[in-house]
Amino acid sequence: MKKLFMSAMLVIAFATAASAQCHNRCCEQKRCDRHPAQCEQKHHPRTPEERVERMKKNLNLTDAQCKEMTALFTEFDKQNKELTEKHRKEMQKRRNDLDSKIEKILTEEQLKAYKERRDCPKKRPCPPRM
């Protein structure tokens, strides 16, 4: 009887954990329909206007504060976009440098296999989700 009870409890525990992970993945992909209020809290607003609207609701901002915050977030997003673009270009340059160094080390056959694997992400195994 104890073994049956413990087995049932384990099955329930694993089913609950699996269900929660699936729901979290749906929330991350914004495909959730089970608990929309819970998902809304999890997702961060993307545009400056959405952020300010949320702050206005939570912090009771005045109209003047809303305008200042919108301008502040807009400028912040613009600077972030510029930094991201600059970083992307630097990373691409570093990747190109790495590739040129790798080409000097590998044989033609090895280089061909390396490029095939690098250029086809579907063949690479995905890292485990945490």
Give the predicted TM-score (pTM) of the model: 0.48
pLDDT digits (tens, 9 = 90+) for 61-108: 999 999 999 999 999 999 999 999 999 999 999 999 999 999 999 999
Task: Supply the DSSP string of 53-79, one letter for each residue.
Answer: HHHHHHH---HHHHHHHHHHHHHHHHH
Beta-carbon contacts of 38 under 8 Å, excluding residues fewer than 6 positions away, are: 27
Mean pLDDT over residues 51-68, rounded?
Answer: 93
Strands (E), 8-130: none
